[in-house]
Amino acid sequence: VDLTLFITFQKNPLFMFNLNRSFTNVPNPLLTGVFSTVFYTIIVLSIFFYIVFFFLFHKKVYKTDYRLYKRVHLFADFFSVVPTFLLIVMILNGFFFSIAQVEGHSMEPTFCSNDTVIIEYSANYDRNDILILRNDDSFLIKRVVGLPGDSLLVSNAGVYINGYLIEASLPAITVFYNLTIPEGSYYVLGDNRNNSMDSRVFGLVDGDDVLGEVLLRIGSKVCE
């Protein structure tokens, strides 16, 4: 079951054991590498141990020395705790939550660089939700300011949502809009507007590129 889930969840880019990750910012690559190595080692050892125990020694030890058989059997039960723990971790991480590390300063002061956050996989997002989204070969953390159905105007005067000025600062390569945000798309901005690559630069975000919502920040560090 562990191996099956491990292979199945490789398509989830936030899966902590994902071996296809080519970006460096979310989650911590060292943590991912260590977890993957430990996972493989434990599963291989578990399979090897059970094959050896049940097929080579089980009947022989049982017939010759019941006390030794009992000790070995208790060891087998203990050894199965780790794969069971991994199974629980994979189910939670594959279907519900992930842990990620923020890199950069685009969401300060809400999130500092190197902050750890818990992400909930979700398909429904509201205004001001903070999302993890995929952009090319990396992940970004941004705040939703424009929802599907909102009137969006991005001009030289700034960013307007439903007629309200959201942000007056515009980068030199701003993408201009005058439309209703289509279904399944979002307009996102970083809280640190003067140092954020967001929808002002790369435009609307497709819902398929949104991977989850930041549920919780671990710690209470103040940004430098």
Name the residues annotated as catalytic. Answer: 106, 142
Question: Does 83 sit behind a cis peptide bond, omega within 30 degrees of 0 on the bond before it?
Answer: no
Pair of tokens at residue 82? 């780790």
Give the amino acid at 71: R
Pair of tokens at residue 68? 């030794």
Pair of tokens at residue 38? 């430990």
Strand ranges inside the chain, DSSP E: 97-101, 116-120, 130-135, 138-146, 151-155, 158-161, 164-167, 177-180, 185-189, 205-206, 210-218
What DSSP string runs through 115-147? -EEEEE--S---TT-EEEEEETTEEEEEEEEE-
- CA-based Rg of the chain, rounded to a whole angstrom? 24
